[in-house]
Amino acid sequence: MIFTLAGPIWRLLPEGFRELILYGLVSAAALAVDWGLLVVLTWAGVDYLLASGVGFCFGIGVAYVLSIRLVFAHRPIADRWREFTGFLGVGLAGLLLTQGLMIVGVEAFGMAPASAKGPTACLVFLFNFTVRRALLFRAPRADIARS
């Protein structure tokens, strides 16, 4: 089910763009959980990489639940366990990307972990949306070869 906003302008936007906007809102909620845990855990003395991983994993849970309820209209994978496994797999690839970018930001550029999280989150957001939409939530292709 896709969350719809009232107004003719929203309905005129292409479906993929609407999904990107909604996925951005869902990701903001997931990022709030992710980033919040990073800050709290590092403040409590947990290593920043472990704290980043824990936050990211909780963020994936929030992102999945909200994505299937509010964002993606097309769910071609009938087996929900397989769908979740794919969602999680993309998330784990995103986690590896997150960890690598966090290391670069903190170790190479001397950024504080909370500061390095900003650009990291932007890049991982684009990666996750693109791959998830392409592999898990793509719309059926129109048959253009009809005679």
Summarised one tens digit per residue, pLDDT across range 98-127 is: 899 999 999 999 999 989 988 998 899 899
| Per-residue exposure over 10-23, b if at least 16 CB sit within 10 Å of its own CB, e if not | eeeeeeeebbbebb
State CA 97 to chain mean position distance. Answer: 12
Is-above-0.85 flag for pTM? no
Is residue 76 classed as helix, strand or coil in its secondary structure? coil
pLDDT of 43-81, one tens digit each?
Answer: 999 999 899 889 988 988 898 999 999 998 888 998 989
- Rounded percentage of the chain residues whose pLDDT exceeds 90: 50
Q: Checking phi first, is residue 16 left (phi over 0); if not, alpha (psi -120 to 50) or beta?
A: alpha
Residue 1 DSSP label = -
